[in-house]
Amino acid sequence: MTRSDLVEALATRFAQLTHRDAEFAVKAILDAMGDALVKGHRIEIRGFGSFSVNRRAPRIGRNPRSGESVMIPEKRVPHFKPGKALREAVDAKTAEILGQAPRQND
């Protein structure tokens, strides 16, 4: 699903929203989430998952063309961890599509 698909789905689901209003709503939500992650905050949406920022330590890599060692600096990268409800829904739907019984957690 792309951003425009999300806008279209929102506009279709809520008839009182114009396409432009749906576009502004999606943009506002994504901008707010991006700003929070840039500031280092964690975002948690119950039943869906959580977004956080992970640190990748500096390391030594290799230039594939020359084989020369290259220092790769520390990075901060966004990370998504799906919630239990989302994981179970995806697992159940995948099992349904493949014609298998969903796995049971012990």
pLDDT (average), residues 47-74: 95
pTM for this prediction: 0.75
Of 56, 53, 21, 50, the closest CA to residue 35 belongs to: 53
Q: What is the pLDDT of residue 71?
A: 96
Arithmetic mean of pLDDT over the chain:
92
* pLDDT for the residue 11: 93
